[in-house]
Amino acid sequence: MRIKQNSLKTLIVLVIPISFLFFFFFIPLINIFALAFGILDEGTIFTLSPLLDVLTHPLNRYFLIWDIQQALLTTFLCLLIGIPGSYILAHYKFPFRNTIRNLLTIPFILPPIVVLMGFISVFGHGSLINNFWKDLTGFRLIDIYNTNEGIILAHIFYNIPVIIRITEIGWRNVNPELIAVAKSLKASNWRIFRKIQFPQLFPILAAASLLVFIYSFNSFAIVLVLGGVKFQTLEVRIFDYFWARFDYNAAAALTMIQLFINTLVIFLYLYFSNKYEIPTERLAWKIENSLFHRPINLKSVLRTIFVGLYFAFVGIICVLPIVGVFFASFTSSDNAFTLLNYSKLLDRDISTFIGLPPHSMIANSLLFGLGVILIAPILALLLNYGLNYETTNKGRPKITLFRSFSGIIVILPLTVSSITLAFSLFSIYRDTPVYENIAIVIIIAQTLIAFPFANRIIAATRSNIDQTIINVARSLGVSRLGAFFKIELPLLLPGIVIAGLFSFAISIGEFGATYFLSKTNFATIPVGIYRLVATRNIGPAAAFASLLVIITVGSFMIIERVGKVDFRI
């Protein structure tokens, strides 16, 4: 009887997050399936025609193959460039080591539209580097528009920090005692790497590579601007079929192909994460500060020069574009210092180019961000509480079929891209009262994007709580709910705050779903930046982007102050 009561209470707690996912994620996604297989067409029960049509279209095949190729090439180049940096940061002490580590994190936490803006300001037409190189040699260093090289370089800029930061944790987590024993037995460095280090590094290398692949494969803003009609990811292609051709069935069919690839990659990532227990930052810190493994000083001049040149090269790729955003925001067309770009954001005439005054876009971004802060962490908290309500005698959550199924449900939103998410919401709710207030739909879409991250942060925070405290409280007669409010909730508070701030940062920088769904009156800062870039108003776009950099970096600085939480995407 008690077991049934506990199961009923679990179901009551879970009804809100599960219902939210059911109505705003699974039902819309099922509708996309129906569109892809012609089920919604009059007189058709089931057909493979939409899927076969898009697969046999030469352009679609070309873009699909190119999308996979550029994602693989980006991943390979990021590994090639990033692994030496992660090794250096993990094994050597040198001036500004922590500063370099923090600077390398910034590109990844920035919204893709800001990454694009920084890349254009440094390597675009009329940029400082291209102008300097043209004066020196008579031609541009690189043409980033409508070129494969420009897109891949932009993706490398965005994804190198993923490789460096994640694999650095892997290097620091390699068991130093095994290496010490191998060296005492006169094993060569190559044999130590092959037999000891690489087997321990492989899971985290695989996971980091899969993340870079999925980010590059689903790239939208970067390819939308730089690719033109010559290069398109499936994400851009779906958007094109929907808004330019109004071919919903073909767009849905392409979505199915993308969803299949995304699901395969995400579950491979989770396989490596869970089966091989990828190390956390906290565990790596403990090992780094152990007796057997401490970073050593750079001893030789040659090694010092190599490290300096390496981080100078990485800095040009990763840090210079961020500096370029601020530089372009204070620079006029003749490369003179100016505040005109910022003053234009206060001028109503700029709305001619972006459809809405900038202050209204800022207000929309903050409004949507506030909505996501209020919803995503609460849904994640309810889900974690419900899934962990029933515990064993040792205080561990009971592994039930329902709990395992719910865990899979939570992971699935990670497999869906922002454009697919927006497409699914639009296709099912466009003729309903839900869609009458587009702001609510945008908040729902952004919440679905932020929710898996918020859930992982809170789940990781909860895993660090000593369950003995809760068990003692329960043995003294405190109810499960009472133990939650008096013990768990205060201990979870840092994780909840971080989940909220992380959700806010995702919301305020989200571009794909918001651009797909937003009407003129509900455009946000990223949409405004895109419209300014599209109309070649680079200075005001840089000024707008610098504001987004300050907000995003500020959010993550607060996260660092609140406290680090070990979580993985």
- Backbone phi, then psi, for 491, in 5-degree steps? -75, -25
- Lowest average pLDDT, out of 21-30, 291-300, 413-422, goes to 291-300
pLDDT tens-digit map of 178-223: 888 888 888 888 888 888 888 888 888 998 999 999 999 999 999 9
- Lowest average pLDDT, out of 55-64, 98-107, 315-324, 475-484, goes to 475-484
- Lowest average pLDDT, out of 179-193, 387-401, 411-425, goes to 387-401
Q: Does one domain contain both 342 and 315? A: no
Q: Does one domain contain both 316 and 352? A: no
| Burial category of 254 from C-beta neighbours within 10 Å (exposed 0-12, middle 13-18, buried 19 and up) | buried
What's the pLDDT at 451?
93
> How many beta carbons lie within 10 A of that of residue 69, not counting itself?
12
Q: Give the chain's mean pLDDT.
A: 83
Q: How far apart, in whole angstroms, are the C-alpha atoms of residue 211 and residue 266? A: 8
- The reply to whether 270 falls in a domain is yes
Assign 74 a pLDDT band (cuts: 50, 70, 90).
very high
Indicate the length of the chain as a whole number. Answer: 569
Q: Which residue has the higher pLDDT, 282 or 366?
A: 366
Q: How far apart, in whole angstroms, are the C-alpha atoms of residue 368 and residue 508? A: 7
CA quadruple 400, 406, 409, 413: dihedral sign:
negative
Q: Is 93 helix (H, G, I), strand (E, B) or coil?
A: strand
Q: How far apart, in whole angstroms, are the C-alpha atoms of residue 180 and residue 176? A: 6
- The reply to whether 46 falls in a domain is no
Nearest to 387 by CA among 126, 17, 87: 17
Q: Mean pLDDT, to the nearest integer, of 66-85?
A: 94
- Backbone phi, then psi, for 296, in 5-degree steps? -105, 160
User: Is a pLDDT exceeding 90 seen at residue 100?
Assistant: no
> How many beta carbons lie within 10 A of that of residue 487, not counting itself?
18
Which residue type sits at 267? F
Query: Of 259, 294, 329, which one is at a domain's C-terminal end?
Result: 329
Percent of the chain with pLDDT over 90: 32
- Lowest average pLDDT, out of 17-21, 294-298, 500-504, goes to 294-298
Q: Mean pLDDT, to the nearest integer, of 131-151?
A: 81
What's the pLDDT at 384?
84
User: Is a pLDDT exceeding 80 seen at residue 5?
Assistant: no
Q: Determine the distance from the C-alpha atom of residue 94 to the mean position of all C-alpha atoms in its chain, rounded to a whole number.
A: 30
Q: Does one domain contain both 280 and 364? A: no
- The reply to whether 43 falls in a domain is no
Q: How far apart, in whole angstroms, are the C-alpha atoms of residue 159 and residue 156? A: 5
- The reply to whether 37 falls in a domain is no
Q: Determine the distance from the C-alpha atom of residue 494 to the mean position of all C-alpha atoms in its chain, rounded to a whole number.
A: 21
- The reply to whether 50 falls in a domain is no
Q: Does one domain contain both 424 and 508? A: yes
- The reply to whether 47 falls in a domain is no
What's the pLDDT at 27?
92
Q: Does one domain contain both 560 and 439? A: yes
Q: How many domains does the chain have?
A: 2
- The reply to whether 144 falls in a domain is yes
367 token code pair: 């409004």
Q: Does one domain contain both 509 and 369? A: yes
Q: Does one domain contain both 250 and 281? A: yes
What's the pLDDT at 176?
78
User: Is a pLDDT exceeding 50 seen at residue 547?
Assistant: yes
Assign 43 a pLDDT band (cuts: 50, 70, 90).
low
Largest CA distance in the chain: 83
Q: What DSSP letter does each residue of 398-449 carry, written as one string?
A: P--HHHHHHHHHHHGGGGS-HHHHHHHHHHHHTTSGGGGSHHHHHHHHHHHH
Q: How far apart, in whole angstroms, are the C-alpha atoms of residue 147 and residue 520? A: 31
CATH of the domain at 442: 1.10.3720.10
89 token code pair: 């940061």
Q: Does one domain contain both 274 and 344? A: no
pLDDT tens-digit map of 438-473: 899 999 999 999 998 898 889 888 888 877 787 777
Compute CA distances 513 → 317, 449, 504, 506, 510, whole Å.
Answer: 28, 9, 15, 12, 7
For residue 104, what are the domain limits?
Answer: 57-329
Assign 102 a pLDDT band (cuts: 50, 70, 90).
confident
- Lowest average pLDDT, out of 140-149, 305-314, 345-354, 476-485, goes to 476-485
User: Is a pLDDT exceeding 50 seen at residue 491?
Assistant: yes
pTM summary value:
0.86
Which residue type sits at 374? L
Nearest to 161 by CA among 240, 96, 108: 108
Assign 390 a pLDDT band (cuts: 50, 70, 90).
low
Q: Which residue has the higher pLDDT, 135 or 428?
A: 428
Q: Does one domain contain both 342 and 241? A: no
Percent of the chain with pLDDT over 70: 88
Query: Of 329, 359, 392, which one is at a domain's C-terminal end?
Result: 329
What's the pLDDT at 185?
81
Q: Does one domain contain both 350 and 313? A: no
- Lowest average pLDDT, out of 36-50, 304-318, 400-414, 553-567, goes to 400-414
| Burial category of 3 from C-beta neighbours within 10 Å (exposed 0-12, middle 13-18, buried 19 and up) | exposed
What's the pLDDT at 475?
77
Q: Does one domain contain both 301 and 343? A: no
Q: Mean pLDDT, to the nearest integer, of 235-257?
A: 91
Assign 393 a pLDDT band (cuts: 50, 70, 90).
very low
Q: Which residue has the higher pLDDT, 446 or 476?
A: 446
Q: How far apart, in whole angstroms, are the C-alpha atoms of residue 155 and residue 321? A: 13
- The reply to whether 6 falls in a domain is yes
Compute CA distances 284 → 179, 192, 200, 211, 388, whole Å.
Answer: 16, 20, 13, 20, 27
Please, what is the Cα angle at 158 between 152 and 164, to 5 degrees? 110
- Out of 69-73, 224-228, 453-457, give the one with best mean pLDDT: 69-73
The runs of H, that is alpha helices, within 185-229 are 189-192, 198-217, 221-226
Assign 291 a pLDDT band (cuts: 50, 70, 90).
very low
Query: Of 281, 309, 329, which one is at a domain's C-terminal end?
Result: 329
Q: Does one domain contain both 147 and 263? A: yes
Q: Which residue has the higher pLDDT, 284 or 237?
A: 237
| Burial category of 366 from C-beta neighbours within 10 Å (exposed 0-12, middle 13-18, buried 19 and up) | middle
